[in-house]
Amino acid sequence: MQIPNYEAAKVRSKKEVLIRKFNLDNKYLNLGLNKKFYLKTYGCQMNEHDSENLKGLLHEMNFEEVFDMEQADFILLNTCSIRENAHNKAFGMLGRIKHLKESKPDLVVALCGCMAQEVGVIEEIKKKYRFVNFVFGTHNLDDLPKLLYENLTNKKLNIEVYSMEGDIVEELPVSRDSKYKAYVNIIYGCDKFCTYCIVPYTRGKQRSRKKEDILKEIKSLVHEGYQEVTLLGQNVNAYGKDLYDDYELADLLVEVSETKIPRIRFITSHPWDFSDKLIEVIKEHKNILNYVHLPIQSGSNRILKLMGRRYTKESYKELYDKLRSIENISITTDIIVGFPGETEEDFLDTLDMVNYCKYDSAFTFIYSPRENTPASRLEDNTPLSVKEERLYRLNDLVNKYSKESNLKMLNNIYEVLVEGESTKEGMLFGYTETNKLINFKAHKELIGSIVKVKIIDAKSFSLDGELVE
Ligand code: SAH
Ligand code: SF4
Ligand code: F3S
């Protein structure tokens, strides 16, 4: 039994991060023979990619995936802590699983991901959800085979969560969700400690993967025919700082570009570490896509300071203007409304920045206090109804600009990576270089290739197009 602890999670030691190669012990190989697993993922792309590794591990143990929870012998929830509603969804799911387990006592249930790193969540599981078989955290994904094995002989709730990040584990098995686009981690953890955010506690200190390991992974993806990679990290712009004296994200992107993978994206960028060199590199390489996700969070300097974001609206604008010099760039953002003490005036500053930046799209959230974060200790007198009303006003403005940016695309031709069949009957869907969702009629054979599409209709969240022969 190993439970999380926030004091330990906060520590940023200078200890060298070890890198080790994953190896599956033979005794785990047949654990999943004739057994089915159901995996539910919450949260960000990093969690989605962790789930691809978890599936890889389960497939190596000969488990088969099912998409109906009732058919599963093993249910795994890969959870997210970012906001209260992510929490509630996972606990709601545990409630449903409890009923299932009553009629199916051999069912094995496990929880992992960011919620497992929360002290309060572990206490709640120990109190109310003792039917869970085991819990493991973000720092020991590779313990899954061991925990499943131990569960064969010991059915009591087992909690194995480490607060301090461990080694970087290379060569974990992976079952990717797409055959055409792939996520590649380049940096783990986060050292920014924005005052509202739980991620620095759930994901540990910032650790870059070695460039050789990243490039090796991408070269093998090119070899397998992948068309697009997304380089992942909570703050990709900090890439290399913990590892190299003179090698940053811009340098990595140049080397990734040389692999000739047709499309390269990178998320998420913190405005603080965005270098001029990075802007030049995006301009100079066709396969580094002209798309940047640049979270602003608030347009009020007072609130930005309380958030610990380390930039002002003026410095954000300066960076934003430089980015707009990249031809046809698309810029998206994240915004939080209702941070403790946010006044109407602060909120109007945020709307001002949205009017200035005219984002291609934005993810907008109501502030959600997270356990143990500095912001959760701030006084917050704004009623929820006021925060909700601000969110509506913000969304109206954001949607207006999304629609405007989409309307500008009408009658133009864009390259689209075709990803699959659309929810709209008889249509396929794919994304442009600038990450716009396009639906269009074409033969299924085109799935996985990059085609030219002319835009014929524009809405706020998607566009319709027609294939250009
Ligand atoms: N590393 C990224 C963000 C990761 S979390 C960055 O710094 O930009 C994704 C988004 O969730 C954040 O950009 C923020 O807008 C939102 N978020 C994070 N913590 C939150 C909280 N406590 N309440 C509401 N939204 C939050
Ligand atoms: Fe959270 Fe800030 Fe780190 Fe993003 S940069 S993950 S918002 S602490
Ligand atoms: Fe959620 Fe953890 Fe990602 S808190 S947003 S799953 S890093």
Q: Is the CB of 365 under 6 A from ligand 2?
A: no
CA pair distance 147, 273, nearest whole angstrom: 39
- Minimum-distance ligand 2 atom for the alpha carbon of 308: 2
Same fold: 172-407 with 413-467: no
CA pair distance 312, 302, nearest whole angstrom: 9
Q: Stretch 198-205: mean pLDDT, rounded? A: 96
The DSSP bridge partners found for residue 109 are 75
Q: Is the CB of 269 under 6 A from ligand 3?
A: no
End-to-end alpha carbon distance in the chain: 61
Instruction: State the maximum Cα–Cα separation within the chain, in Å, rounded to a whole number.
Output: 64
Closest CA to 232 of 218, 212, 216: 218
| Residue labelled with tokens 């390269």 | 264
User: Is 413-467 assigned to CATH 1.10.275.10?
Assistant: no
User: What single letter denotes the amino acid at residue 420?
Assistant: G
| % of residues, the chain, pLDDT over 90 | 94
Provide the mean pLDDT of the chain.
Answer: 96
Give 269-302 as a DSSP string: --GGG--HHHHHHHHH-TTB-SEEE---B-S-HH
**Whole-model pTM?**
0.96
Q: Is the CB of 336 under 6 A from ligand 1?
A: yes
Query: How many other C-beta atoms lie within 10 A of the C-beta of residue 466?
Result: 15
**Ligand 1 centroid, distance to 264 Cα (angstroms):** 23
Please give the pLDDT value at position 65: 98
SS3 content of the chain, % helix, strand, coil (to 5): 40, 20, 40
Nearest alpha carbon, ligand 2 atom 2: 194
Confidence of residue 16 (pLDDT cuts 50, 70, 90): confident
**Ligand 2 centroid, distance to 268 Cα (angstroms):** 9
Look up residue 434 and give its two tokens.
């600038």
Instruction: Please say if the pLDDT value at position 220 is more than 80.
Output: yes
Look up residue 313 and give its two tokens.
């609206």
Look up residue 181 and give its two tokens.
């686009």
What's the CATH fold of domain 172-407?
pyruvate-formate lyase- activating enzyme (3.80.30)
User: How many separate helices (H) and strands (E) can be counted in the chain?
Assistant: 13, 21
CB 164 within 8 A of CB 14: no
Q: Is the CB of 236 under 6 A from ligand 2?
A: no
Q: Which ligand is nearest to the CA of 234?
A: 1
CA pair distance 200, 192, nearest whole angstrom: 7
Element (H, E) at 99: helix 84-103
- Minimum-distance ligand 1 atom for the alpha carbon of 269: 8
Distance of CA 272 to the CA centre of its chain: 19
**Ligand 3 centroid, distance to 27 Cα (angstroms):** 32
3-state DSSP assignment of residue 265: strand
Instruction: Please say if the pLDDT value at position 15 is more than 90.
Output: no
Confidence of residue 155 (pLDDT cuts 50, 70, 90): confident
Q: Is the CB of 380 under 6 A from ligand 1?
A: no
Of 77, 80, 370, the residue with max ligand 3 atoms within 8 A of its CB, to mutate for a pocket test, comes to: 80
User: What single letter denotes the amino acid at residue 401?
Assistant: Y
CA pair distance 239, 248, nearest whole angstrom: 6
Q: What sign has the CA pseudo-torsion 57, 63, 65, 68? A: negative
Distance of CA 197 to the CA centre of its chain: 14
CA pair distance 19, 166, nearest whole angstrom: 9
**Ligand 2 centroid, distance to 217 Cα (angstroms):** 26
The DSSP bridge partners found for residue 51 are none
Please give the pLDDT value at position 129: 96
Of 10, 190, 198, 241, the residue with max ligand 2 atoms within 8 A of its CB, to mutate for a pocket test, comes to: 190
What residue ranges in 212-329 does DSSP mark as E strands? Answer: 228-232, 263-267, 291-293
Nearest alpha carbon, ligand 3 atom 7: 199
**CA–CA distance from 359 to each of 353, 399, 404 (Å)?**
10, 9, 10
Confidence of residue 1 (pLDDT cuts 50, 70, 90): confident
What's the CATH fold of domain 6-160?
Rossmann fold (3.40.50)
**Ligand 3 centroid, distance to 443 Cα (angstroms):** 37
CA pair distance 201, 41, nearest whole angstrom: 20
CA pair distance 420, 429, nearest whole angstrom: 6
pLDDT digit string, tens, across residues 419-450 = 999 988 889 999 999 999 999 999 999 999 99
CA pair distance 113, 392, nearest whole angstrom: 31
**Ligand 2 centroid, distance to 309 Cα (angstroms):** 9
Please give the pLDDT value at position 202: 97
Query: How many other C-beta atoms lie within 10 A of the C-beta of residue 292?
Result: 26
Confidence of residue 460 (pLDDT cuts 50, 70, 90): confident
CB 455 within 8 A of CB 409: yes
**Residues found in the chain:** 469
Look up residue 286 and give its two tokens.
């066709």
**Ligand 2 centroid, distance to 193 Cα (angstroms):** 6
CA pair distance 185, 356, nearest whole angstrom: 32
The DSSP bridge partners found for residue 208 are 187
**Ligand 1 centroid, distance to 101 Cα (angstroms):** 34
CA torsion 353-356-360-361 (nearest 10°) is 20
Q: Which ligand is nearest to the CA of 85?
A: 1
Give the residue extent of every domain in the chain: 6-160, 172-407, 413-467
